[in-house]
Amino acid sequence: MTHATHEQLEQALLVCAACPLRQDTIGPTSYNGTSVSPLAIVGEGPGGVEDEYGVPLAGAVRPVLG
């Protein structure tokens, strides 16, 4: 799967249901920041807090990352 822009990738994520885990979620968890950042921190998988807020690394790890 290839997308020409970050916005196209974001739209594809919003409608994707390829993973069976997606059935029990509120929605996809995506980035929260700029798409041109030189650094990206990738988590293993979103938990309940991340699903609720829709952003990655929003749970217990948030204070650790600052």
Local confidence pLDDT in tens for the 66 residues of the chain:
688 888 898 888 888 888 887 788 887 777 767 878 898 877 777 788 888 888 888 888 888 876
d(CA 56, CA 42): 8
Does residue 18 contact residue 43 with C-beta atoms inside 8 Å? no
State the number of CA atoms in the 13 A half-sphere of 17 facing the CB.
4
Q: What is the pLDDT of residue 33?
A: 75
> For 36-49, b where at least 16 C-beta lie within 10 A, e where not — what string?
eeeeeeeeeebbee
pLDDT of amino acid 1: 67
Q: What is the pLDDT of residue 28?
A: 78
Reduced to 3 states (helix: H, G, I; strand: E, B; else coil), residue 64 is helix
